[in-house]
Each structure stands twice: as C-alpha cells, then as structure tokens.
Amino acid sequence: MRTYKKIMIMGMSVIVAQAVIATSQAEAQEGLFNSLDKNQDGLISQREAAGNTKILENFTRVDINEDGFLSMDELTSSPFLTD
Ligand SMILES: [Ca+2]
Ligand SMILES: [Ca+2]
C-alpha cells in the first residue's frame, strides 16, 4: 500500500511538472508575440516577424489560415516553433 502511494505521488509530480513546463512555454510565446506585434493589432505581419528568424523562416507554415498574418493561436499552437 505504501509503495502504491509513492507511485501515485511520483506520477502526480510528473503531471504537475509537465503542466508547469507547458504553461511557461505558452507564456514565453505570448511574450514573444507581444514583443513582435509592434502595432499591437493582435496579428503579426511578415514585416513584424522579421524580428525573429525562426518565425520568419516558418511564417507560411505557421500561418494556418493563410491570411498573411500570424494570430496568437497560430503562434502558440504551431509545432514548428518549439525547440
Ligand atoms: Ca501587428
Ligand atoms: Ca493567419
């Protein structure tokens, strides 16, 4: 029974740690988004993306709805920008 409890606690710690990592990544991307969105219209244009090589290189792939701008959702859900 004690072993079972230990395993439960270990498992829960892993889940909590993963949630913390996921949250900090999302926060980092939000911070990145806000710093790139110079005119603060809630979208990143190709010109604004010029400040970040990684985003610029993946711009067309991150721009899921192909409107020529990156929204916060497109940026945070993109698999191309994670390290
Ligand atoms: Ca903008
Ligand atoms: Ca878009």
CB 74 within 8 A of CB 55: no
Structural domains counted in the chain: 1
User: Is residue 83 a part of any domain in this protein?
Assistant: no
Which CATH number does the domain housing residue 71 bear? 1.10.238.10
- Whether residue 62 lies inside any domain: the answer is yes
Return the ligand number nearest the Cα of 75: 2
21 located within any domain: yes
Residue 67 domain boundaries: 2-77
pTM above 0.75, yes or no: no
Q: Supply 20's token pair.
A: 């913390």
Q: How far is the CA of 20 from the centre of ligand 2 (A)?
A: 28
pLDDT at 83 over 70: no
Between residues 70 and 8, the one the model is more confident about: 70
* Residues written for the chain: 83
Give ion ligand 2 contacts, CB < 5 A.
63, 65, 67, 69
Please say whether the dihedral angle defined by the alpha carbons of residues 30, 31, 32 and 34, taken in this order, is positive or negative: positive
Q: 21-51: per-residue pLDDT in tens?
A: 788 877 888 888 999 999 999 999 999 999 8
Strands 69-71 and 43-45, sheet pairing = antiparallel
The alpha carbon of 21 and the centre of ligand 1 are apart by a number of angstroms equal to 27
Report residue 5's pLDDT band, with 50, 70 and 90 as the boundaries. confident
- The burial of 48, by beta-carbon neighbours within 10 Å (0-12 exposed, 13-18 middle, 19 or more buried), is given as buried
